[in-house]
Amino acid sequence: MYDERLISHFRNPRNAGELQPPAVTVEVSNPACGDILRLSVLFENGRTCNAAYKARGCTASIAAGSALTELVSGKTPAELRTLNAAVIEEALGGLPAESKHAATLCMDAVKAILKAI
């Protein structure tokens, strides 16, 4: 059902946890399924230098949060604005229709980070 890349992020999540201030931390949720994503991003010299996440939800949401922390690494706010759900899905080897909400949840978190900075 899931690509091996997604399974790898689920079984071995990258950057799990939360960063302390001055990192920016946001929490977003999907009221339809109940998934929650907390994303912390630390910026230095106009770029993300560290990112961490906590997720409560389905396999796809946990894996997508992990992939997201890798995708935002080293990015400027302008580069973060170019991210979209398709990029997250691609990093996971694709998502079945019933799991696409995981990539949307990640994008909600990125948008919240951009509003907070």
Spatial CA neighbour of 84 closest among 57, 63, 108: 108
| CATH architecture classification, 4-116 | Alpha-Beta Complex (3.90)
pLDDT at res. 106 = 98
Which pLDDT score is estimated for 9? 98
pLDDT by residue for the chain (117 residues), tens digit each? 899 999 999 999 999 999 999 999 999 999 888 999 999 999 999 999 999 999 999 999 999 999 999 999 999 999 999 999 999 999 999 999 999 999 999 999 999 999 999
| 3-state SS class at 111 | helix
Q: What's the CA gap between 58 and 66, in Å, rounded? A: 13
In terms of Cα–Cα distance, which of 88, 106, 93, 114 is closest to 38? Answer: 106
